[in-house]
Amino acid sequence: MASERSSENSAVLSFQGVSKTYQSRKGDVDAVEKVDLEVRRGEFVSIVGPSGCGKSTLLKMTAGVVNPTTGHIRVGETSVDAGDPPAGYLGMVFQTPVLLDWRTVLENVLLPIEILDRDRRDARQKAAELLSMVGLDGFENRHPAELSGGMQQRVAICRALVFDPEILLMDEPFGALDALTRDEMALELLRVWEETQKTILFVTHSIEEAVFLSDRVIVMSPRPGRVELEVVSDLPRPREPGLRYGTEFGEYSQRIRDSIYSGRRQSDDGKEGLGEPLGK
Amino acid sequence: MPTRWERLRLIVAPAAALVLLVAIWELAARYSDTPDFLLPAPSELLEFITANFGLLVSHARATITASVLGFLIAVGFSLVLSVLMVWSRTFEATVYPLVVITQVIPKVAVAPLLIVYLGFGLAPKIFLAFLVAFFPLVINTTLGLRAVSSELLQLLHSLKAGRVQILMRIRFPTALPYIVEGAKIAIAFAIIGAIVGEFLAGNRGLGYLVNASTVSLNTQQGFSALIVLTIVGVLLFEIVQVIGKWMLPWYRDGERAGG
């Protein structure tokens, strides 16, 4: 299935020599340096790396919230070097669900439809389908506070998909969930991905999560964030939970881990443990 | 889950404390040598209030009118001001210091001037009520309008949401709990503002009545006016609280509803 998708071979998202330097009082901070990356239609790409490797900056630049210092970013046919990606092209999911407390689940999912001023009747149908796809039928009229963290994040995913965006940008979407819910959500996301045929750019701290989900894993090094390694995964689709115990899975994870650790040793902050934020 | 007695306790205990306080007051007034014009007994005050109910109510009405009008103007004014401050950093930098200046100037000092400018009627009282009430509202409303997470703003940006859309759909509902909390402080302040105005000029309102009574050592009337004032204050506060709760069914005193 994966090969079928990538054979289309059309990049819906591309970074060309993208660097981002933040100006701060203590001087310039290079968050991202010379990143080249192309994401093809329908591909599932993960970005892994320790804190401070510019993963989130990369996503923010894609969304046009932050502009690159040098280089070019293209979303679909549009250049977003100076912000403003095409409206309705990107769906976004964050670590926290950021739902609106005063709206019901259904109303939350429909928020982008209202903003984009699209037909609400069609969208209601679509929203109901998505909610049922993630196992939330019957919860349409509940409020976010009545749902568990995992359920809230499912609602956030539905909200990101309801307007049929080309690309789903996910910034550590399962980072705030417990380990069990996390694995469950990963499987669910893969199912949603298969059914909706979206392109997904997925940022995570978890090497295993990235390997389990992706067609391709991009490993980034911290300060400045650079592409350190690119791993193309041949793990069979659809991915089954048992895959995690296989040798192939272990090899992919090992390669990524080695790459991150060797990057660590070279950096000044090498003594810190994995997953710890690097120097502020 | 609190038991029935635990819930009942929350009503019984404060009521008992109030009764005890009044009882001590009554006993102290009756069995001490304190003259009546210094400390009238609660029973006498109750008698006075029943006998002069019409008078007290008509003065209370003037105070309520001034406080509520001042309060409502403050709500509208602070809303507009806060939106503009959230939208424009320049506007905020310009206006915020002016807002602070209006608050640090002692109201009692400018009140006589206000009476010269605005006359002896209702206008200076409304203005004073407004002047003290709008400050907590501006502070809280601005804070509330800004309390939108950066992720949500990022999401809205990617959808190309306009600032009016963001204001109406996101910022305003987010700010509502903050505005309600600010309104609770503001209504109490508004009453004080109106009273200060009534103290200084005119012949209407509970503030006027308290002042006129103490000057003429009519302590019974003064105390009665204070009691009515207290009741008016508590009632207005409760009304704001109830309206606030009704507007925020999803929000319970800083906690999220449900689980």
What tens digit of pLDDT does each residue of A130-166 get?
A: 999 889 999 999 999 999 999 999 999 999 999 999 9
Distinct helix (H) and strand (E) counts, chain B: 11, 2
**Cα-flanking dihedrals φ and ψ of residue B38, to 5°?**
-95, -40
Domain coverage including residue B153: 46-256
Chain B residue closest to A85 (CA)?
B158
Q: Which residue of B has its CA nearest to A173?
A: B151
pLDDT at A26: 81
pLDDT confidence of residue A82: 82
Give Cβ neighbours of residue A243 (< 8 Å, ≥ 6 apart): A212, A235, A236, A249
CA distance B193 to B200: 11
pLDDT tens per residue, range B62-118: 999 999 999 999 999 999 999 999 999 999 999 999 999 999 988 888 888 888 899
What's the predicted TM-score (pTM) here?
0.84
For A49, half-sphere exposure in the C-beta direction (CA atoms, 13 angstrom radius) is 30
- Measured from the Cβ of residue A51, the count of other Cβ atoms closer than 10 Å reads 14
State the pLDDT at residue B212.
Answer: 93
Query: Across the interface, which of B155, B165, B250 has its CB nearest the CB of A102?
Result: B250
Q: Is residue A64 part of a domain?
A: yes
Residues in chain B with CB shorter than 8 Å from the CB of A146 are 257-259
> Of A141, A164, A187, which residue sits at a domain end?
A164
Mean pLDDT of A236-262: 89
Minimum CA–CA partner of B256 in chain A: A145
In terms of domains, do A246 and A151 share one? Answer: no
- Any chain A CB within 8 A of the CB of B35? no
Q: Token pair of A232, please?
A: 């193309």
The H or E element spanning position A200 is strand A199-204
CA separation for the pair B252, B258 (Å, rounded): 9
- β-strand partners of A218: A47, A230
Q: Examine residue A278 and state whether it is found in any structural domain, yes or no.
A: no
How many CA atoms are closer than 13 Å to the CA of A100, on its beta-carbon side?
26
B156 contact residues in A (CB cutoff 8 A): 115
Which residue, A164, A194, A216, sits at the end of a domain? A164
Q: Tell me the pLDDT tens digit for each residue of A193-233.
A: 999 899 999 999 899 999 999 999 999 988 788 888 899 98
B159 touches chain A (CB under 8 A): yes
Contact A145 B157 (CB under 8 A): no
Residue A273 has pLDDT above 80, yes or no: no
Choose among B157, B160, B250: nearest Cβ to A145. B250
B154/A146 Cβ within 8 A: no
Residue B196, C-beta contacts closer than 8 angstroms, at least 6 positions apart: B107, B108, B111, B128, B207
Residue B158: what residue type? S
Q: Do A61 and A173 belong together in one domain?
A: yes
Q: Do B160 and A145 touch (CB under 8 A)?
A: no
**pLDDT at res. B113:** 87
Looking at beta carbons, which residues of chain B come within 8 Å of A63?
154, 157-158
User: Which residues of chain A neighbour B259 with C-beta distances below 8 Å?
Assistant: 145-146
Is A273 part of any domain?
A: no
Assess if residue A70 is contained within a domain: yes
Residue at B27 is within a domain: no
CA A92, A95, A101, A105 torsion: positive or negative?
positive
Q: How many domains does chain B have?
A: 1
Residues B196-231 as b or e (16 or more Cβ within 10 Å = b): bbbbbbbebbbbbbbbbbeeeebbbbbbbbbbbbee
pLDDT exceeds cutoff 70 at A253: yes
Considering the domain architecture, whether residues A185 and A262 belong to the same structural domain is answered as yes
pLDDT per residue as tens digits for the range A62-87: 988 889 999 999 998 888 888 788 88
Q: Which residue has the tokens 């790396």?
A: A49
Please give the mean pLDDT across all residues of chain A.
86
> Is A68 a domain residue?
yes
CATH number for the domain harbouring residue B158:
1.10.3720.10
% of chain A residues with pLDDT over 70: 90
Q: Which of A135, A164, A193 is the last residue of a domain?
A: A164
* Domain shared by A120 and A152, yes or no: yes
Query: Which of A13, A56, A57, A100 to mutate: most B Cβ within 10 Å?
Result: A100
Q: Is residue B13 part of a domain?
A: no
Based on the fold, state whether residues A160 and A180 are members of the same structural domain: no
The whole-angstrom separation of Cα B62 and Cα B204 is 6
The answer to whether the Cβ–Cβ distance between B170 and A63 falls below 8 Å is: no
Q: Is pLDDT of A55 > 70?
A: yes
List of chain B residues whose C-beta atoms are within 8 Å of the C-beta of residue A168: none
Distance CA B125, CA B196 (A): 8
Pairing of strands A226-232, A78-79: unpaired
3-state DSSP helix/strand/coil % of chain A, to nearest 5: 40, 25, 40
Report the number of distinct structural domains present in chain A: 2
Q: CB distance A94–B157 less than 8 Å?
A: no
Mark whether A127 and A235 lie in a shared domain.
Answer: no
- The CATH number of the domain holding residue A45 is 3.40.50.300
Does B128 map to a domain? yes
Residue A42: strand, helix, or coil: coil
Say yes or no for a CB contact (<8 Å) between A92 and B154.
yes
Token pair for B192: 């004080």
Range of the domain at A77: 2-89+169-266
Determine the Cα–Cα distance for residues A186 and A241; give it in Å rounded to an integer: 10
pLDDT at A266: 59
Q: Is residue B29 part of a domain?
A: no
Q: Are residues A126 and A113 in the same domain?
A: yes
- Whether B247 maps to a domain, the answer reads yes
Which stretches of chain B score pLDDT less than 50? 253-259
A32 with A52, same domain? Answer: yes
- Chain A residues closer than 8 Å to B246 by CB: none
Q: Are residues A43 and A113 part of one domain?
A: no
Cβ B151–A111 below 8 Å, yes or no? no
Residue A267: pLDDT over 70: no
- The answer to whether A112 faces chain B, any CB pair under 8 Å, is yes
Query: For chain A, how long is the longest CA-to-CA vector?
Result: 56
Rg (CA), chain A: 19
For residues A130 and A16, membership in a common domain is answered with no
